[in-house]
Structure 1
Amino acid sequence: MRNMTPYASARRSMSGGNLWLNANESPYSRDYMVDSQFLNRYPNFQSRTLNHAYADYAKVKFEQVMSHRGSDEGIELLIRAFCTPGQDAILTCPPTYGMYKISAQLNQNNTVEVPLIGDGQLDFDGIAQALNNNAIKIVFLCNPSNPLGNTLPRSAVEQVLELCKGKALVVSDEAYIEFAEQSGAQVSATDLLQNNPHLVVLRTLSKAFGLAGVRVGFTLANEALIQALVPVLAPYPLPAPSLQIAEQALTLDGQIELRQNVIEICAERDMLARALTGYGWVKRVYPSVTNFILCEVTNAEAVMQHCMQAGALIRNQSSQLGLANCVRISVGSPEENSELIRILDLYRAEEIPA
């Protein structure tokens, strides 16, 4: 524990400012009704209402759904349930979401890294070799990718499933799936669950649904795998207010509002990407099907400091493998994006030394 570096979440690593574009949150919120009549009682271990609603939304069976505190808890549950401490390992494909490795460390499991190749795609030979040479029990695929913003093709996920058959679980982390689908990318692996008992799909209401503060996520898998997670899940994983709000968000009206917000965010993302390509100090704008944009710039720290001084928070990704001098910008509302562009218009790369 003394040697661990905790995950540098957006709230932990940065504070202040009035323009928060560093955590891939939705810029949109809405009012929900919370019934406080029974807050003196513990909530159910699993809400049948919530799980049925999400099963209908994700087009899976009710028995294939477990709800918990964000998809982060889903990552932790899988590692605790299927990785023997001090013996087994997980596999990740960096650059990728940092909590996979940290959750493994907390359970005393190593992380084997097989970096992405080419334009952010999987190294199948590297994955096959790692599976043969290590006691890997879980392969984590971030799809759509955080921080790259791209997707893995369906055939790639199927190929990894074949490589891992009889060896390891394959986890498709689909936190940004709604934005990808709106962008025309059909990448969800939920329809592969039926014929792949070693497949797990992670979902969340923190991104497109705009409920990051409620902390509701889902693990989707075949029933036997879901039941294997039951012993390691907390007895009351979700607070009653979170359950009530999540159930309202998944109603027909809630889903209509979700789609409207996703359409606007994707349109704003494309507008912001075009604007970023016009700056001489931006060397590359990565294509994105998510609610954020990754950019390679001449000096990431200088851009960060300029934005912070103006009250805008964005995220420096330079510590990630292969992402030197890269910043990640969450897509805000039209007003927030206009303000960010105004701030960036004032940036002069030559004024801040490297």
Structure 2
Amino acid sequence: MEKLVRKQIQTLTPYMSARRIGGSGDVWLNANESPFNNEYKTDFARLNRYSECQPNELISAYAAYAGVRPEQTITTRGADEGIELLIRAFCEPREDAILYCPPTYGMYSISAETMGVEQKVVPLTSDWQLDLTKIEANLDKVKLIFICSPNNPTGNLVKREDIVALLEMTKERAIVVMDEAYIDFCPEASTVDLLSQYANLAILRTLSKAFALAGLRCGFTLANQDLIKILLKVIAPYPVPVPVSEIATQALSEAGLARTKFQVLDLNANRAYLQVGLSMISGLEVFEGWGNYLLVKFPDGTALFKAAWDTGVILRNSPIENCVRISVGNRDECEKTLGFIRNYYS
């Protein structure tokens, strides 16, 4: 196998998802999942037939929710497949590059590496904003720029004026990909309104977070019609299983949207509760968060993470020194986590 596998894959370190890392406990706040387990019904009919490549009802429902036209929308197996489609469609292996700004989501890098596409890294500034000067100096060969807002794992929003400046800078040169996986928790910060002004903008979305459908693996890419047509050339023939389409469409119904709105309000309230409680513990730095998680700096993040792990409170270590990411769960999970951290430092 080692002789046959591609060189890029021989040295590749896979993305360590929460499920790969594992753990054992009764408080799971490590994967930015929703604590709500909503019920859906499907009759599992027509499973002997292939699904539509892009189910019309699902596309129309999400387009209406996002405020775009159906022809500006493509559905994928989570936002992760959207990342892969964009790289596959626009980047020539060993010729082109992507650019991303850590600390941020790790799949941009891994997806590019698996396809033999160069990666250019321009770290965020000390306040976790775009370094536009360094980005401009590194645009040679870059076809895609991935920006996450709210950013994972930091939780902050990227300044809108910087996003607009980046779009202007890269006109007819590169595509700016805004990863809005967590935008449903702060919809007013979306860049979807900029689609009408910038042909070089693509937006990644998902039902995994606010819609409480992480196990469904259903995401979307929003862009101008010409870009969507290109992605349709490279997507798998039948990317959306029939049950996925049916459940996702139910989630996007009037009743489903009302439920999601209520649950988002509940999670945002729990985030505020967790933020205030953690801020009252001496020695901790709690960063402002706009998604369904908070980044917290501890005196010794690794020690805190391990101690919580050992007691069944499963959190997520981050690449930022001494920082641990805590997903926002239900009130009981937040209270248990806050209580554990208070006792740990008392």
Task: Please tell me whether the aligned partners of residues 53 and 247 of structure 1 are also in contact (alpha carbons under 8 angstroms).
Answer: yes
- Confirm whether residue 30 of structure 1 aligns to residue 41 of structure 2: no
Task: Please tell me whether the aligned partners of residues 153 and 187 of structure 1 are also in contact (alpha carbons under 8 angstroms).
Answer: no
Distance 1:90 1:148 in 2: 21
1:48 maps to 56
Per-residue deviation, residues 93-146 of structure 1 (Å, max 9, x unmatched): 111100000000011011111111131111110111011xx2000000101111
Distance 2:341 2:123 in 1: 32
- For the aligned residue pairs, the C-alpha RMSD in angstroms reads 1.1
Distance 2:166 2:47 in 1: 45
| Superposed displacement of residue 281, structure 1 | 4.0
1:17 maps to 25
Distance 1:35 1:196 in 2: 42
Distance 1:265 1:31 in 2: 19
Q: Which amino acid is 2:36 matched to?
A: Y
Q: Which amino acid is 2:171 matched to?
A: K
1:76 maps to 84
2:109 maps to 101
Q: Which amino acid is 1:214 matched to?
A: L
Per-residue deviation, residues 262-299 of structure 1 (Å, max 9, x unmatched): 001011101101111122342x1111111100011111
Task: Please tell me whether the aligned partners of residues 39 and 240 of structure 1 are also in contact (alpha carbons under 8 angstroms).
Answer: yes
- Confirm whether residue 92 of structure 1 aligns to residue 100 of structure 2: yes
Task: Please tell me whether the aligned partners of residues 78 and 208 of structure 2 are also in contact (alpha carbons under 8 angstroms).
Answer: yes
2:336 maps to 339
2:190 maps to 188
1:324 maps to 321
Task: Please tell me whether the aligned partners of residues 175 and 202 of structure 2 are also in contact (alpha carbons under 8 angstroms).
Answer: yes
Aligned residues: 338
Aligned with 1:259 (options 261, 274, 279): 261
Unaligned runs of at least 5 residues, structure 2: 1-8
SS at match of 2:214: coil
Per-residue deviation, residues 6-52 of structure 1 (Å, max 9, x unmatched): 00000001232111100001111211001212112111111000000
Task: Please tell me whether the aligned partners of residues 152 and 187 of structure 1 are also in contact (alpha carbons under 8 angstroms).
Answer: no
1:268-347 correspondence to structure 2 within 5 Å: 268-282=270-284, 284-317=285-318, 320=319, 323-347=320-344
Task: Please tell me whether the aligned partners of residues 93 and 141 of structure 1 are also in contact (alpha carbons under 8 angstroms).
Answer: yes
TM-score by length of 2: 0.96
1:352 maps to none
TM-score by length of 1: 0.94
- Confirm whether residue 3 of structure 1 aligns to residue 11 of structure 2: yes
Distance 1:305 1:248 in 2: 40
Distance 2:286 2:338 in 1: 15
2:145 maps to 139
